[in-house]
Structure 1
Amino acid sequence: MPPRDEYKLAILVVLYNKQIDDCVTISGLIDSLEKVEFEARDMVICIWNNGPSSINCNLTSEKCQINLIETIDNNSLSFIYNTFIDKVLAHNYLLLDHDSVINSEYLRECFFNKEKYLIPSVMTSHGMQSPKFYRMPSHSFSKTMLAIGSGICLSKAACEEMSKYYGNVFDERFFFYGVDSTFFLRINKIGNAKKIKISSQNIFHSLSRLEVEDESTTKFRVKERSYDQALTLRYYFSIFTCFTVLKKIIASFLFSKKEISLKYFMVAFFNGKHYKSRKR
């Protein structure tokens, strides 16, 4: 990521096991760029290939710069997000997975964003999935809001405030699952929940927990969810996290939902770290 003057909008697209030509997020961004009026120097798209093998990037655009970054050892999403925010100077940061489709209206809203936190409504083939509101409080507020991380737009001021309070923007004790939910719990904890603006625009997203997958992928997700829930309970303890974690544990064992492994949960809770943290 070469240093340069500050952009108005920096966009991050994280790829894993995906070619650029097959990425709906990137194709949607390129299409949206044709419908908006931006100066090329004002925006950058960083495509971050997280593995498992190298890819080629021949994309160019008259509307913005496009850079490719590669770390093919499957780094944590929290590390990638924090590194991107630290290394790229911008007024606003838009974070996207490889399976989210945004429209030109939301892209324009992010470009001119003056809010600390801007999030879209996230739609899937099963209907709207994000944001979600819960009556139970986390920390000092009367209700809790959680949202999917893909599509969130953060201002520079919001990132600086979060880093000042926590040392970084996203919690690097979480690798894949829990990165977005703990980010919103952080916002709530520092009293900024009311500063979140929900856009009138929707983005379309593929949600892994709603898809039919093979056995090895299912086992991976159960392990990740177990570590996510245990570390969330340990580091973001509240009435809300106690209730939601307990509900998922009960559902896993009484109703055979297979979301949580008690073995992984207990190891994560008492060790206080993700299983991949030993490799870093």
Structure 2
Amino acid sequence: IRLILAVSVLELDTGSFNGRVVVTQNVTELRDLQDRVREQERLAALGRLTAGLAHEINTPLTGIASYAQMLGDMTPPDDPRSSLMDKLVNQSFRVSRMVANLRELFRGGGGERGPLDLGEAVFRAAHEAIRSIEAEDTLTIETPNDPIMVWGSPGAIDLAIANLVRNAVEASPQGGPITIRVTEDHENAVATIDDTGPGVPLGIRDKVFQAFVTTKTERGGTGLGLAITRDMITQIGGKVWLEDLPQGGTRATIRLQPCRQPPASS
């Protein structure tokens, strides 16, 4: 709660002191609104920068991917360098998709939307993220046998899951297990990511989804991953939050509406 406290002297007779008047005003909502406005201004500035850089990044990136593919085609399959070429191509396309997703985010879009299987989308995005940081042995994914359909954007879910998985790996001790579950109840489709780290520091728990808030400054953290995740999930009608686990660690939860039928266009 944020309060403004004003104190003034009460004088009923001239020159006499009869007490003090104390007035308090709850300005929590006002301050929260000001914080959100400042955050949106920072994101808008970053969006303009992203739009300007997207073309400059994609042009050389396309060349890198093309040359890597050519080298891969020239490399015999039994050559140990062949797998390295495949990784180079895959990572080049991954960066290209990330730039495109960021561009969509700052446009207020989030990518083309439609019905998709949440379990399949989470499985693909999590494995791609975990391979990029070479931590495959730490990951366990539990998905149902039957599809859980949601109405959303593959790009938004890919980027959100990738951010949450990387956060979980970085928060956990080296080799610490990361567990992802996709479930459905009567009202919601849910994906959870559990890590084995120390939990979210109490001092930033209420601000962790704000842009530029990070606990990883010494490791080059930008404080944008969770802000982008929140905005991506919000844009497709979902919610995301963090909570401490009783046994230690943190759980990130994404909740989406199941796809019974496409939402009515506004």
TM over 0.5: no
The two structures have a TM-score, normalised by structure 2, of 0.27
Q: Which has the higher contact order (CA 8 A, sep 6+)?
A: 1
Structure possessing the higher radius of gyration over alpha carbons: 2
By percentage of residues, which structure has more helix?
2
